[in-house]
Amino acid sequence: MPKTKRKHWTVQHIPDQSGRTAVITGGHTGIGFETTLALTRHGAHVVLTVRDLAKGERAKERITRAVPGARVTLQNLDLSSLASVRAAAAALDASDFPVDLLINNADVMYTNTLQRTADGFELQFGTNHLGHFALTGLLLKRMLDVPGSRIVTVSSMGHRQGGPMDLTDAHWTRRAYDSTAAYAHSKRANLMFTYALQRRLGSGAHTIAAASHPGGADTSGSRRSTAERGIVTRALFAGVVRPLLMQSADRGAWPTLRATTDASVAGGEYYGPSGFLESKGHPTTVRSIGETHDAAVQQQLWDLSQELTGVRYPVQYCDRSDTPSRPSGW
């Protein structure tokens, strides 16, 4: 029988993670760091995939000081380069530990100008979605036989912005560039990817796919993006937004941690804060906008992602349903 969901879930409800390995992108800073810290405190071995190994080393030192005996491994990964994604996936595939949990957390937010990845993709879509699509596809075969394995992809409340997606111009070659819309569409793609992947995994699989968003998390990234938007925006953020709609980075990690560890989570579910505008509060299931549930758009995105990355998934079945499914082996 499905387990009843707790109304007021906290990190204290994370079960023992000893013997489990979590691979996390962007786990060296902000919400990702808090996610890593909580998982190591509960016994998990965490692989920090980082673009800058020096920053990764500093994060590892902070974690081991806070959690003596914590098992943390560093792996170089630049999500904006498919060559780097393939190299990292190959290194992880050759490792002697299983991949129980994959947390697609890293992102690029609100670039001021149109920038491109090493492969020529618009930077936010290329990093936030395509990089994670490729990494997940390359690691999935290793996860399919691991009981209780999960893929959790971090989206954003910002996925509601930007208007309809135009997947025929995903890299903004024909339109005037809109950084906010590009970010929103990349986070919308994270959700479409999660729902489409869960349908391919199907019910009864060892592995499930879920998603989360942190709400209004007060991180260096959110403060930096606000600082770049002018004096009025900065004043509103400091005087109104931060006290009313922002929560700390550690609380911002709770939806991801619940989606990653709570036994009651079903495949295809999306977690965010329970409070006003999903800005802060205890993590609970939330609803994404209608376009994310459009199976035809999901399929268009999936086909485009496979074409651009060259990554083919070892699961192909699609039952046209967003119905959440329970994991086996938990």
Beta carbons of 167 and 116 less than 8 angstroms apart: no
Of residues 110, 177, 183, 317, which has the active-site annotation? 183
CA torsion angle for 170, 107, 180, 119 (degrees, to 10)? -30
Cα 99 to Cα 137: distance, rounded to the nearest angstrom: 13
Q: Does 183 participate in catalysis according to the annotation?
A: yes
Cβ partners under 8 Å of residue 60, min gap 6: 28, 48, 72, 74
Cα 155 to Cα 212: distance, rounded to the nearest angstrom: 6
47 forms bridges with which residues in the sheet? Answer: 23, 73
From residue 119, alpha-carbon distances to 132, 171, 197, 227 in Å are: 14, 11, 24, 30
Beta carbons of 315 and 196 less than 8 angstroms apart: no
Q: Report, as residue numbers or ranges, the catalytic residues.
A: 183
